[in-house]
Amino acid sequence: MTAAQWLKELKLPAEDQNLVSSAVVYLKKGAGRSLKAGGQWIYDNEIDRVEGAPAQESPRPETAGATQDGDILQVLDFDGYPLGYGFINTHSKIRIRMLSRYQTSPVTPALIRKRVRDAWAYRKAVMGDDISSCRVIFGEADFLPGITIDKFEDVLVIESLALGTDRLKLLILRDLAQALEEDGITIRGIYERSDAKVRKLEGMELYKGFIGPTFDTDVPITENGIRYIVDVKDGQKTGFFLDQKYNRAAIAKIAGNLPAPRVLDCFTHTGSFGLNCAAAGAGHVLSVDASELAIQQARENAQRNGFGEDRVTYQTADVFELLPALEEAGERYDIVILDPPAFTKSRQATKNAIKGYREINIRGMRLVRDGGYLATCSCSHFMEEDLFRKTIHEAARSARVRLRQVEFRTQAPDHPILWGDSESYYLKFFIFQVSREV
């Protein structure tokens, strides 16, 4: 039995069933500015009262007892003006996550179905024929807050980080499987990777495991002509970083236009940037990661594409320790790629993150030969674009190099950036030419 067949047999709410509870939340006067500017979150300090809340949370005991965490309720401004519908979680500082912004569009399975189908239609429009592996649901940016679904060929990997949407995940998965099946794609397996620590902030336990029938969790995919095995069970996040797809192609294009360039690929993970450069014609690639598991997977991916150690060499090392050692050894590269993990996951930790980004960029720039190229990025939305630009500029001054910007890019369009929702804009990617003698 495939996962798609398993989903069809589930008994889920009828299309026209109203999923909204009888509870109503009122905002404080002057609150909800982010919501009114296009955001989808309401914080705990913005709420005046909840009528129909659990007894321990309600400021009005006479209306308590009708609503539980995860329930969908109507949101009203301080003066009673309707702002839409969202689900509540009293364990979270993000008290309400919006599902609908219109009073005339209450939340029903039909509305969820429309959101899912709109999301798939969007991917087909912006990704064209190359939708074998892509992100098909991107939380708030697809108006389905707190849930992410990646498609790796005929396997779905889901990450659920919000209580309200967690209750709707089977409905969402069923609708998605049906939409894909109409385009000739039968989903054979679904794996849940809801093991991020942020779930604890929602009062939820960490979880990973199969949804429906079991299957081999090493999933073969092809991206930009490169073959990979995606470990959806134990790989980072959902197993593979789909958001860098076109950024990998951009640096590979430069590698293909240079005479057998030497490439240094830092924080390689599954080896993707280095493999794209090797396929484009790089003479030699050194790919580095601190994780032995990542290096093992990357080496296997290289073999899968016919690249031996003479073309791609893998090294398990701390990049912060390796870069100074390479510099001291007099190594120089035609292309240096810096794709670090997010150095900050909170605004409070941004100062330390700046130090980290500045350090690796100084070291990376010093390893680029005169006239060579640096690809550098940040995947933290707290490291805002202007701040990242400033940090790179400071690093260039410290490294005593001049930078000529070749390209600035963001995440691939299957990870849409929703204006008004700053969380959806997280990936900043630069390619520079590095000059030393100007």
* Ramachandran category for residue 306: left, alpha or beta (phi over 0 → left; psi -120 to 50 → alpha): left
CB 21 within 8 A of CB 66: yes
SS3 of residue 85 by DSSP:
strand
Nearest Cα neighbor of 248 from 222, 220, 218 is: 222
CB 298 within 8 A of CB 288: no
Ranges of the chain with pLDDT below 50 = 55-65
Q: Assess whether 379 carries a catalytic annotation.
A: yes
Domains of the chain by range and CATH? 3-13+108-221 (3.30.750.80), 20-100 (2.30.130.10), 241-435 (3.40.50.150)
Nearest Cα neighbor of 78 from 41, 38, 40, 42 is: 42
DSSP 94-135: EEEEEEES-TT----HHHHHHHHHHHHHHHHHHHTT--SEEE
Q: List phi, psi (to 5°) of 235.
A: -70, 165
Catalytic site residue from 266, 277, 377, 379: 379
CB 163 within 8 A of CB 89: yes
SS3 of residue 324 by DSSP:
helix
pLDDT, position 219: 97
Contacts 24+ apart (CB under 8 A), 13-19: 13/109, 13/171, 14/109, 15/108, 15/109, 15/110, 15/113, 16/108, 16/109, 16/110, 17/108, 17/109, 18/106, 18/107, 18/108, 19/72, 19/106, 19/107, 19/108, 19/109
Contact partners, residue 5, CB within 8 Å, separation at least 6 = none
> How many residues are given for the chain?
438
Identify the H or E element spanning 373.
Answer: strand 368-378
pLDDT, position 351: 82
- Four-CA torsion 291, 351, 348, 378, nearest 10 degrees: -50
pLDDT, position 56: 44
CB 331 within 8 A of CB 288: no
pLDDT, position 58: 45
pLDDT, position 55: 44
For 195-247, write each residue's pLDDT tens digit.
999 899 889 999 999 999 999 999 999 999 999 999 999 988 899 999 999 99
Q: What is the DSSP letter of 93?
A: S
pLDDT, position 53: 55
Nearest Cα neighbor of 262 from 195, 310, 206 is: 310
Query: Structure tokens of 240?
Result: 């593979």
pLDDT, position 61: 40
CB 238 within 8 A of CB 157: yes
In whole angstroms, give the CA distance from residue 33 to residue 259.
Answer: 54
